[in-house]
Amino acid sequence: MGERAAAGGGKWVDVAPERLPRWLENFERRHGPYRETGLTLIAEDGATATWETPPGAPEVATIGELIVEASRPRKIGLLLARKGAVAAGIAEGTELLGSKVDRNYVQGRTAAGGWSQQRFARRRDNQAKAAIADGAGIVGRILLPSVRDLTALVTGGDRAAVEAILAVPQLAPLAAVKADRFLDVPEPRHAVLVSAIAGARAVSVLVREPA
C-alpha cells in the first residue's frame, strides 16, 4: 500500500491485514532470518520492522496476535473533510455499510483590498461556518447512532476542518473514539470514502534498513 518517510530515518509502510504473512516472508527473504522482540522484528543483517496495531484493534504482544486481530472485521467510523466537502461513513471489514457525502461552497482566499476585502473575509467566514455546521449535521446523522458499536473513528483530509467538525459539542462521543491515524486524501467524494477504508484498516510498520 502506501509508503512515507519517517522522522528519524526509515519509512512507514501500510500493509493490508491479509497481506501480513506474505510481507513477513518477503522481509525475511530480503534481510535474512529475524527474531521478534514484542512487535519489533530484528533481522540478521540489522534491518528492523516495528509494527503498530491498526485503529480499533486491541493491543497485542506478538506478531502472531497482531495478524489475528488485524484480520478480524471491525466496525470503524470514517470522517473526511476538506474545502467545504465532508464524507462520513461506517465500514465493517472492507465493506462500506452506510455513508453520506456533501459539499458546501467556500470561497478561496484571494480578494481585492479595502472594504471589498473585509466583505470578502466575512462572507468566506460565514460560508466556512455553514460548511462546518452542515458537516457536523451529516456526521451526527450517520455516525452518532452507531457510536457505541464503533471500535474507532478514523479521520482524514484537512485537519483544521475535521477538528472544527468534531469540536461541535454534540459530537463529543465521536471525538472520544477518534484514532491517531489521519489519512491524506483529496476532496471527499464517495469513491474517496470507499478507498479510505483500506487506509483505515491497514497495519503500519516502521522499517529501518541496516546501517
Percent of the chain past pLDDT 90, that is, above it, reads 78
Indicate whether 142 and 193 sit together in one domain.
Answer: yes
Domain identity same for 61 and 118: no
Greater model confidence, 23 or 130: 23
Same domain, 44 and 83: no
Give the pLDDT confidence score for residue 123 in this predicted structure. Answer: 57
Judgement on whether residues 11 and 42 belong to the same structural domain of the protein: yes
- The size of the chain, in residues, is 211
Residues 61 and 100 in one domain: no
37 and 117 together in one domain: no
Do both 88 and 117 map to the same domain?
yes
Number of domains in the chain: 2
The separation between the first and the last C-alpha atoms of the chain, rounded to the nearest angstrom, is 25
* DSSP secondary structure, 11-27, as one string: EEEEE-GGGHHHHHHHH
pLDDT at 83: 79
What are the tens digits of pLDDT across the range 41-100? 999 999 999 999 999 999 999 999 999 999 999 999 999 998 778 999 999 999 999 999
Residue 20 domain boundaries: 3-72+202-208
CATH number at residue 148: 3.30.420.60
What is this structure's pTM?
A: 0.86
In 6-158, which ranges are continuous DSSP H helix?
20-31, 63-71, 114-143
Q: What single letter denotes the amino acid at residue 89?
A: G
CA distances from 115 to 7, 106, 108, 128 (A): 45, 19, 17, 20
Q: Tell me the percentage of the chain whose pLDDT exceeds 70.
A: 86
- Do residue 192 and residue 115 come from a single domain? yes
The model's pLDDT over 99-127, given as tens digits with 9 standing for 90+, comes to: 999 876 444 555 544 445 666 555 555 55
Q: Tell me which residue of 194, 126, 136 sits closest to 162, measured CA to CA.
A: 136
What pLDDT score does 30 carry? 96
On whether both 91 and 109 belong to a single domain, the answer is: yes
Mean pLDDT of the region 30-38: 97
